[in-house]
Amino acid sequence: MTVTIKDVAKKANVSIATVSYSINGSPRISEATREHVLKVASELNYVANNNAKQLKQKKSNAIGLFFNSWFGPIYSELVKGIEQACHQHGYDLVACSVYGNEGSTAHKYIRDRMVDGAIVLTNSFDDAFIKSVANKDFPVVVLDREVSGPHIYNILIDNFGGAFSATKALINAGFEEIYYFGGPADSYDAQKRFDGYISALGYYKINVDQSLLIEGDFTERSAYQKMKELIEEGKQPKAVFASNDEMAIGIIRAAKEKGIVIPEQMKLIGFDDIQMAELMIPRLSTISHQKVGMGELAAKTLIDAMNSKDDMEDSENSTD
């Protein structure tokens, strides 16, 4: 007997709309309600789209890539690696933006399992939603984010270690007053890089100065404006760790406009080693990681999971 959305609503003691909101990852309900409904749906083996079983009987031979509505230089290189691995193994790659929230094409594709597996490059799918869609027949790979659950695989870069090394290098160069330009508060990368910066200060017994912590959003424009304001206030930094290269480039632009010479008058280290960093004069000092290789690893991990007869061990992989 097919389990319907009404069955889930009845057992969970909620409305049909609440069940729909829970499954679609809508922000209109609380996290506690969502978890309760998803748990009931799982217990009843409810499939949101009754055609999903039929879709899974016939493989699409395609992998879904789910991302935010904007792409930066980091993402373009990650996607290059994903594309290469998919082509090598004979899979099509379907890219979907999450623009439109629960009504987006991305939500429809992943919710209805219209591809054979998913690579997630966005925070717009919350943990509960990812856990609700991931199963043996539909594995999910999440990049630069930690989500624990069956058939979910995390691919991480060493954000903490890279940030620790960058801060350490500035300290060893003789600086204790090191400005930190951070990323968005909801970014996994930004949080781990901030942790690395703080830990390096602690390792060298340097107190954290809140006035040196500059809020950013990983964009060149934000860092340019923040650095310009600092200089105009007479607070010319001597050492800066920018938590990504785009912000570092914004800092360089502001410094040049104010006649500050890098690295002679300001030591600066970025993170990511994007292609643009090679074109800067002088060349930007930055923490490097294998972005194309990370994309390849994500795709290969997903393909292995999709084709494994036995359950793969849900894992956390990292790239250095």
Q: What is the pLDDT of residues 222-250, one digit of tens each?
A: 999 999 999 999 999 999 999 999 999 99
Please report the pLDDT score of residue 30 as a whole number. Answer: 86
| pLDDT at res. 69 | 57
β-pairing, 239-242 with 213-214?
unpaired
pLDDT tens readout for residues 186-202: 888 999 999 999 999 99
- Answer yes or no: are the C-beta atoms of 90 and 61 closer than 8 Å: yes
Flag whether pLDDT at 263 surpasses 60: yes
Range with lowest mean pLDDT among 12-26, 129-143, 204-218, 220-234: 12-26
Question: Does 214 score more than 90 pLDDT?
Answer: yes
Average pLDDT of the chain is 86
Residue 297 vs residues 83, 156, 182, 201, 314: alpha-carbon distances, Å: 11, 10, 27, 33, 15
Minimum mean pLDDT range among 55-69, 176-190, 269-283: 55-69
Query: Quick check: 60 pLDDT over 90?
Result: no
Residue 55 pLDDT level (bands cut at 50, 70, 90): very low
Is the CA virtual torsion 128, 130, 136, 140 positive or negative?
A: negative
Beta strands 62-67 and 92-97, pairing class: parallel
Q: Does the pLDDT of residue 168 top 50, yes or no?
A: yes
Q: Is the pLDDT of residue 163 over 90?
A: yes
**Sign of torsion, CA 195 201 202 203?**
positive
Distances (CA, A) of 28 to 22, 32, 38, 101: 9, 12, 15, 11
Residue 46 has pLDDT above 80, yes or no: no
pLDDT for the residue 204: 97
Sheet of 140-143, strands arranged across: 92-97, 62-67, 117-121, 140-143, 152-157, 316-319
Coil, helix or strand for 75?
Answer: helix
Angle of helix 73-88 relative to helix 291-307, nearest 10 degrees, comes to 40
Which range has the top average pLDDT, 44-53, 168-177, 186-195?
168-177
The two tokens of residue 198 are 């703080």
Nearest to 133 by CA among 18, 30, 31, 46: 46
Task: Name the residue with higher pLDDT: 318 or 243.
Answer: 243
% of the chain exceeding 90 in pLDDT: 52
Q: What is the dihedral of CA 228, 233, 234, 237, to 10 degrees?
A: -50
Per-residue confidence band for 142, with pLDDT thresholds at 50, 70 and 90: very high
Strand partners, 214: 181
Q: Is the peptide bond before 282 cis (omega within 30 degrees of 0)?
A: yes
Q: Which residues share a beta bridge with 97?
A: 67
The answer on pLDDT for 304 being more than 50 is: yes
